[in-house]
Amino acid sequence: MLELPAPAKLNLFLHVTGRRPEGYHELQTCFQLLDYGDRIRLSEESAGRILREGGLPGLPPEQDLAVRAARRLREATGIRRGVRISVEKRIPAGGGLGGGSSDAATVLVGLNRLWSLGLSPDELSAIGLALGADVPVFVHGRSAWAEGVGERLQPIELPERWYLVATPDVAVSTAEIFQAPELTRNTPPITISAFRAGAGRNDCQPVVAKRYPQVAELIERLSEFAPARMTGTGASVFCAFENEDEARRACLALPPRVRAFVARGVNVSPLHRALSEARAAPRG
């Protein structure tokens, strides 16, 4: 049995730089991994079955990205072994924090170990990309600069700041936002140096804020503590602090109806740290 973390992520900025003929958007972003997320338990299951426990209430197993990841991995490798997947959700759904994609990546990486498949991160990422554009960054397990549809990754060292992440009681449809006629789709790409100097915005934020006033209100509220920005296509909003105490004080000042947590940004995924520790642990 393996018990592994599935960390959340933030998009520190998100530019829509173009649109491909088939309709996919060209993006530029910086993924910041967090030391906060879901928990996934994987255990061998007899008769080659793939079973799920927990997960999002009301989400059928066949639509769960964790289950779909296990099935795709079996299809890609021809293996017929089964697994019981237990999902303990902490990442808010529909918040732009990558919860479903991270669960899928943890299943792929974990089953690669549990089933002794020996696939490389690139091979696992190729399987995961069919499930979601954010899956590869979680498979590779590094905070990263990303381009394309989000699949062209370059590891980046980021300051490991503390983040307050808050989610209003509203679900934002990613498809709706990317189909919005008012979405900016021609933002010029920026360099990493320009990003480090403060350049970058979230092109989806004005669209979401106009259509979902709860998000606009939360951005305004968090901006009282530090510059606030939406992650992904929302609905979650974040701001950065230099230390944990400041972040927690700001969190306590939020209204009780707002779901919020404090987490530290990390350059190496908690998933990969957990696997490294498992490899190093003595066997008795």
Number of Cα atoms under 13 Å in the Cβ half of residue 122 = 2
Residue 148 region by backbone torsions, left for phi larger than 0, else alpha for psi between -120 and 50, else beta: left
Where in the sequence numbering do the catalytic residues fall? 9, 134
In whole angstroms, what is the distance from residue 168 CA to residue 213 CA? 10
Neighbours of 267 (CB within 10 A): 16
Task: Name 33's bridge partners.
Answer: 9, 266
Report the distance separating Cα 177 and Cα 216, nearest Å. 15
What one-character DSSP code corresponds to residue 219? H
Helix (H) or strand (E) holding 263: strand 259-266
Separation of alpha carbons 249 and 30, rounded Å: 27
C-alpha–C-alpha distance, residues 73 and 76, integer Å: 5
- Cα separation, 4 vs 41, in Å, equals 6
For 34, phi and psi rounded to 5 degrees?
-120, 155
Tokens of 116: 């002794």
User: Half-sphere exposure of 51 toward its Cβ, with a 13 Å CA cutoff?
Assistant: 9
Relative to beta strand 144-148, strand 228-230 is unpaired
